[in-house]
Chain A
Amino acid sequence: MNDRTRTAWMFLAPMLVLMAAVAGWPLARSVWFSLTETNINDMSASRFVGLDNYFGAYGLFFNPNNTDGFWASEWGTSIRNTFVFAICSVVLETLFGLGVALLLNQEFKGRTLVRTAVLVPWAIPTIVSARMWGWMLHDQFGIVNQMLLDWGVISHKIAWTADPSFALWTVVGVDVWKTTPFMALLILAALQTLNKDMYEAARVDGVHPLRVFFRITLPLIKQPLIVAVIFRLLDALRIFDLIFVLTSNSSSTISMSGFVRNQMVDNGNLGFGSAASTSLTLIILLTTVLFLKAARVKLSEGAS
């Protein structure tokens, strides 16, 4: 081992030790708990039950007590909610983000002002944005219902956050409002690295702008776009705070993370909750791998 290498490991040691202590150890313990029956109030009285929390009579999967089928169970609902939320919000955020980025990439008076304004939703904490929209979407006194009534879009006031047929879509909407700026800024950064001459040439040749977009711009920003989408997808799949606050932890909009917390803290089933959190981690991991396969990118390319 030469001097430089020794320095490198010495410099990394404090971080590695700390990460092992605060992330590695708790993760290992959580996986262990998932194989036990443990109550949060008396953790010493833990009993090893093998894979019962996953596949047992009251387990997460193949539970014979779910007479209405897996997707009707609370766990199934939380998986479905999480994926509906993640896919819809990420698709919308990517499309809107692309639109806003293309807009900000144009030269016009007041562009700086628009870019600054776009940052505002991103700067607002999630909890604040949840409560703020909770107020604006209030069924009785909310400004959104008021506006839509005035414009004649709806005929009666809607309980956006409480009505199960609207609540999840409301969550998607609020998340899109808050996170589109993040996507727009990442895409804008990619757009600004593109060569201007190419566009000049395309314009001189009279190529239709839409064709320019699909044939030149999109292929060139594909790589950073996919990375941004992965970041968002991973973030969306672990959603908790927005749903918990905006829809008051209701069972119709519960997410996987919400399910885990409910089981662990509210019901005290640390073991069962850990099984759910471990499953959640595996599901996210699997989704990421599948997505990367489908998008044909290797993450190691960027990390080298």
Chain B
Amino acid sequence: MNEQRPLLGTAVLYLLAALVVVISVYPFVYMLATSFKTGTALFDTSLLPKAPTWRNYDQLFHGHQPFGRHLLNSIMVATVTVAIALAMGITASYALGRIRFRGKSALLLAILAVSMFPQVAVLSGMFELMQAIGLYNEAIGLVVPYTIFTLPFTVWVLTTFMRGLPGELEEAAIMDGCGPVRIIFQVFMPLLWPALVSTGMLAFIGAWNEFLFALTFVNDDAQRTVPVSISLISGANAYEIPWGSIMAASVIVTVPLVLMVLVFQRKIVSGLTAGAVKG
């Protein structure tokens, strides 16, 4: 249908496409630009900094807030959360995706319900639990509340992938005397790892970005994760908010994600659609 599109239509199409690109990318570029400005240059709204400087970045790591420590906390929490979710998700999704048994639909529905749950619903009970097991105020303790949303999500998405794997492969493996564990880890694994990568990445992003639990269950400055860290950067008064530093911290947190999403965009989109459209 491409060749018969009228000229006006083509012009409108490209205009809209350009508009979409500008609206999507401009704020990010502006944030990047701001992160290289200091002092009065901040109040100049031009996109190219006249005197670009690394000072904002430098200050982040040498200021009174241990931003480097916060970064490490975030990486650690997100990695452990994803590892737990994947480890349990693989076997659970095999059971849900490949084995027929009574109560499966109800279980799937329950899993979906949990992943859609408002986080505040468990806030007070989780507060008590975290204190009871001694993980309150510890960065690594955030793995506990994060599992509430990463595990059901991982199981749900991996189940849709498991369901799509060829049945002949499994039958042949069973004929050869393979048990379920060998089927998962030796027969299915080569087909499954792209799904694991995309699911793991989405779960990682979820844990990396989480704010409510991180704000509520960690008070100790050294134990904070980056979203809370960024939300707390402030100056002595409303006119001294260090916007340059805030933007520099934001860039550090965002650039890896943006790169990851751009490189793996096809896998991520397929993970998202498996998680939602087929739901």
A179 within 8 A of B: no
Query: A1-38: contact bitstring with B at CB < 8 Å (1 yes, 0 no)?
Result: 00011011101101100110011011111101100001
CA–CA, A273 and B127, complex, Å: 12
Q: Does the CB pair A114–B17 fall under 8 Å?
A: yes
Q: Does the CB pair B101–A264 fall under 8 Å?
A: no
In the complex, which residue of chain A has the Cβ closest to the Cβ of B27? A132
Residues in A with CB closer than 8 Å to B126 are 22, 26, 30
CA–CA, A291 and B100, complex, Å: 31
Q: Does the CB pair B21–A117 fall under 8 Å?
A: yes
Q: Does the CB pair B116–A125 fall under 8 Å?
A: no
Contact of A257 among B119, B124, B276 (CB under 8 A): B119
Minimum CB–CB distance from B271 to chain A (whole Å) comes to 11
| Interface segment, one of A55-63, A68-76, A87-95, A235-243 | A235-243
A270 and B127 contact, Cβ closer than 8 Å, known pairs A11-B92, A122-B261, A124-B258: yes
A280 and B118 contact, Cβ closer than 8 Å, known pairs A8-B95, A22-B144: yes
Q: Does the CB pair A203–B91 fall under 8 Å?
A: no
CA–CA, A176 and B147, complex, Å: 27
In the complex, which residue of chain A has the Cβ closest to the Cβ of B42? A141
Residues in A with CB closer than 8 Å to B269 are 185, 189
Contact of B13 among A106, A146, A177, A273 (CB under 8 A): A106
Residues in B with CB closer than 8 Å to A235 are 116
A227 and B216 contact, Cβ closer than 8 Å, known pairs A127-B209, A270-B124: no
| B225-279 CB contacts (< 8 Å) to partner A | 227-228, 230-231, 243, 246-247, 250, 253-254, 257-258, 260-262, 265, 269, 272-273, 276-279
Q: Does the CB pair B276–A228 fall under 8 Å?
A: yes
Minimum CB–CB distance from A85 to chain B (whole Å) comes to 14
Q: Does the CB pair B101–A8 fall under 8 Å?
A: yes
CA–CA, A22 and B261, complex, Å: 29
| A162-190 CB contacts (< 8 Å) to partner B | 177, 181-182, 185-186, 189-190
Q: Does the CB pair B105–A281 fall under 8 Å?
A: no
A265 within 8 A of B: yes
CA–CA, A152 and B279, complex, Å: 47
CA–CA, A147 and B22, complex, Å: 15
Interface of B is mostly: helix
Contact of A189 among B205, B231, B261, B273 (CB under 8 A): B273
Residues in A with CB closer than 8 Å to B45 are 141, 143, 146-147
A189 and B30 contact, Cβ closer than 8 Å, known pairs A14-B91, A245-B231: no
Interface of A is mostly: helix
Q: Interface size bucket, B side?
A: 35 or more
A303 within 8 A of B: yes
Minimum CB–CB distance from B7 to chain A (whole Å) comes to 13
A135 within 8 A of B: yes
A126 and B211 contact, Cβ closer than 8 Å, known pairs A8-B99, A30-B124: yes
| B82-131 CB contacts (< 8 Å) to partner A | 84, 88-89, 91-92, 94-96, 99-102, 105, 107-109, 112, 114, 116-129, 131
Q: Does the CB pair A277–B124 fall under 8 Å?
A: yes
Q: Does the CB pair B231–A14 fall under 8 Å?
A: no
Q: Does the CB pair A116–B127 fall under 8 Å?
A: no
Residues in B with CB closer than 8 Å to A18 are 84, 88, 147, 151
Q: Does the CB pair A22–B148 fall under 8 Å?
A: yes
CA–CA, A182 and B205, complex, Å: 14
A302 and B278 contact, Cβ closer than 8 Å, known pairs A22-B147, A114-B21, A117-B20: yes
A220 within 8 A of B: no
A284 within 8 A of B: yes
In the complex, which residue of chain B has the Cβ closest to the Cβ of A255? B120
Residues in B with CB closer than 8 Å to A182 are 272
CA–CA, A120 and B258, complex, Å: 6
CA–CA, A19 and B150, complex, Å: 11
Q: Does the CB pair A29–B254 fall under 8 Å?
A: no
In the complex, which residue of chain B has the Cβ closest to the Cβ of A110? B17
In the complex, which residue of chain B has the Cβ closest to the Cβ of A174? B27
Interface on A for B, CB 8 Å cutoff?
4-5, 7-9, 11-12, 14-15, 18-19, 22-23, 25-30, 32-33, 38, 40, 43, 100, 103, 106-108, 110-111, 113-133, 135-136, 138, 141, 143, 146-147, 177, 181-182, 185-186, 189-190, 199-200, 203, 224, 227-228, 231, 234-235, 237-238, 240-241, 244-245, 256-257, 260-261, 264-265, 270, 273-274, 277-278, 280-281, 284, 299-300, 302-304
10 pairs across A/B with beta carbons < 8 Å? A26-B125, A30-B122, A30-B124, A119-B262, A123-B258, A128-B254, A203-B1, A277-B120, A303-B105, A304-B105
User: 3 closest Cβ contacts across the A-B interface?
Assistant: A26-B125, A29-B125, A238-B118
